[in-house]
Amino acid sequence: MPELPTVAIVDDDEAVREALGDLLMVSGLTCQTFEGAASFLDATTKRHFDCLITDIRMPDMSGIELIEHLQKRCTDLPVIVISSVLDQHVRSSALSLGVHAWFTKPVSDERLLGAIAAAIANGSGADTGQ
């Protein structure tokens, strides 16, 4: 039996992590949640992830900084951003870094699950989201 895809969720808001985790589990995906970028980066040395969902505004390391750090590691991990940030410059920066999709909170379950499936299936490309 093939292993289920594993999605990492990085968000400093516990309620968001729990809600996303519940959605992914009932959708047949495995997930692991992290309250910050540093703990996620540490976990990547021990575990494989098929997709990353991250927020932008987080203490210690922003989502943009996390994405840049992943690029320095030459990883092709597909990244989906879910954020309340409405700044088009920040959004453009994230998309230029190769973010697969950007969604403004709140995002519909169907759109998010579709973006995750596409990201896992092809691991590249960009969806401008909402």
Query: Each residue's pLDDT tens digit in the chain (130 positions)?
Result: 457 889 999 999 999 999 999 999 999 999 999 999 999 999 999 999 999 999 999 999 999 999 999 988 878 899 999 999 888 999 999 999 999 999 998 899 999 999 999 999 976 444 444 4
Domains contained in the chain, number: 1
pTM of the model: 0.90
Q: Return d(Cα 87, Cα 128) in angstroms, integer.
A: 14
**Does some domain include residue 31?**
yes
* Residue 1 within a domain: no
- 93 in a domain, yes or no? yes
Give a yes or no: residue 69 inside a domain. yes
Which DSSP state fits 3?
P
CATH code (residue 50) = 3.40.50.2300
Beta strand extents in the chain (DSSP E only)? 6-10, 30-34, 51-54, 79-83, 101-104
**Kind of pairing between the strands at 51-54 and 79-83:** parallel
